Amino acid sequence: MTLLKIAKVFSTTPGPRSESEGPFSGQLFRKTVLAPAVTKAIEQNEILTIDFDGTEGYGTSFLEEAFGGLIRNEKISHAALNKHLQYISKEEPYLIEDILEYLCDAEKNIEQAK
Amino acid sequence: MRAYIKRIIAKKANKQWKRKLKWKAGKKQKKRYKSSLDSLHSQLNHTYNIQHANFVKIRPPKNFSFVANSNEVIGFINKVFECFLKRQKLFIRFREVEHIEYDALVVLLSILVRFSSHNIQFNGDFPVKRLPAAVLKSSGFFEYLYEKFMIRDSYVLNAKSRIHTHASKHVDPSLGKTIIRDSSETIWGENRRSQGVQRAFLELMQNTHNHAEIGKEGDKHWWLSASHSKSKKKVLFSFVDFGVGVFKSLDSKKEGSKWGAWKKLMPQKHKYSNNAELLKLILNGELHKTVTDKPYRGKGLPGLKLLLERNQISNLYIITNDVKADVKNDIYNILDSNFSGTFVFWELNEQNLSCNDTFKDSESIFNDSWSEK
């Protein structure tokens, strides 16, 4: 089991959706931290636990871009994410439900586009 | 006996006479003082008129509060903005103002910085009444305005005053941290985190970046101001952008696009007769649900209502285009004048949710930590 604590490995102040909008974006987080960690967890058949606590707070676009983007941009399947990802968010428990929804939406959008 | 009475009457008369003389002298002095004051005033007025002869003089409303007196303040702001567009020199006559709130000052400040950065002269006086004059002085408003502003991407107006103002065109997540730390010291007397306020900042900054100007991203400034009330243990936040506003932004969505379909779909599913009723539907997530056919997940401006419902913030007001929403009390009104932009006001107080600055580390329960590799 591997832990990825966003406040430690990325930033205590996660920012907007894309890099052009401002620093510490969801796009940057996905590309440099989340996607490599998820890929490694899948390859090694491990569980990756993502800990959201300890930051200043998240914008919805950051989360959507980071997690929805795993399916949309990194082409990782929804099923693989469900199998290899776990979440901790004691400070903001509603984040987990939102993220699961973003993953479903991203998958549906890809299916609709086909 | 008779002589004795006579003496008493004479003494009384003498006293009365002296009192009358004193009263007359006082009256004369008052009259003299008043006439000298009048002449001083008229001299001052004369000097003022000569000095500011070619300035356009505009009076703010007596109740200069954007939240409480939105219609009149928008009318005033629109006049000031007109001066800016015509590059006319401006004199703001605060003299008769009886009540001032920081929310209105922030909106005015954000426009006057444009005067400064475009080298258009402006000036103003102070309210005669003690209380509004004190608010205006303590706000640091005029100190800000004496600074020389250039046209640039971001401004920090952080004088030793009660309003701390920041402006930028981009999303600035670290700014939120600084502002929240300062605010938590005022409210709780210690450093705390408020994820609700941080989310409000992020959603609003991103909203301005992406939607304030039709077809252009990152073109408009947002202005964020926090005013601290240590005695009431609360901090009031005002966020303003002079973009197109919510309804003009919605109207600009192209037909055929996903969001362009809202004009067709919304009347089919909901009854609304004006923008006030439409804003209520938007904040309740109905626009999102109608267009996407999915439950609303707190994105953008409507996400602020969720923060209020979760007790992460208090007293939320939104003013955009022709609508004013008192979200907490569920009151949505149509305004007399149009405000070109979006103004959001909320409060953070002792009762709102917050987190300790230090957080319990979950790493100890894991064998492996990605961060250490």
User: What's the pLDDT tens digit per position in B96-151?
Assistant: 999 999 889 888 888 888 888 888 888 888 899 999 998 888 776 666 666 655 55
Minimal C-alpha gap between B57 and chain A (Å): 39
- The total of other beta-carbon atoms located within 10 Å of residue B1's CB is 5
Mean pLDDT score of chain A: 94
Is the per-residue pLDDT at B373 higher than 70?
A: no
How many Cβ pairs closer than 8 A exist between chain A and B? 125
Is the per-residue pLDDT at B370 higher than 50?
A: no
What pLDDT was estimated at residue B165? Answer: 66
Residue ranges covered by each domain of chain A: 2-113
Adjacency order of strands within the sheet including B368-369? A85-88, A48-51, A2-5, B368-369
| ipTM of this complex prediction, to 2 decimal places | 0.94
Residues of B in contact with A58 (CB under 8 A): 195, 198-199, 202
Q: Kindly indicate the confidence band of residue B276, based on its pLDDT and cuts at 50, 70 and 90.
A: very high
Residues 64-103 of A with CB under 8 A from B: 64, 88, 90-92, 94, 98, 101-102
What pLDDT was estimated at residue A34? Answer: 97
Q: Residue B66 and residue B344: Cα distance in Å, rounded?
A: 10
Is the per-residue pLDDT at B372 higher than 50?
A: no
Which is higher by pLDDT, B298 or B117? B117
Q: Kindly indicate the confidence band of residue B154, based on its pLDDT and cuts at 50, 70 and 90.
A: low
Inter-chain touch B176–A57, beta carbons under 8 Å: yes
